[in-house]
Amino acid sequence: GNSVTQMEGPVTLSEEAFLTINCTYTATGYPSLFWYVQYPGEGLQLLLKATKADDKGSNKGFEATYRKETTSFHLEKGSVQVSDSAVYFCALTAGGTSYGKLTFGQGTILTVHP
Partner 1 sequence: EPEVTQTPSHQVTQMGQEVILRCVPISNHLYFYWYRQILGQKVEFLVSFYNNEISEKSEIFDDQFSVERPDGSNFTLKIRSTKLEDSAMYFCASGSGRAVGELFFGEGSRLTVL
Report the nearest approach of partner 1 to the CB of residue 65 (Å): 17
97 binds partner 1 (CB under 8 A): yes
Choose one: 22-30, 52-60, 73-81, 105-113; the region binding partner 1 (CB under 8 A): 105-113
Q: Give the chain's radius of gyration (CA, Å).
A: 14
Chain contacts with partner 1 (rule: CB under 8 A): 32, 34, 36, 41-46, 49, 51, 89, 91-93, 95, 97-107
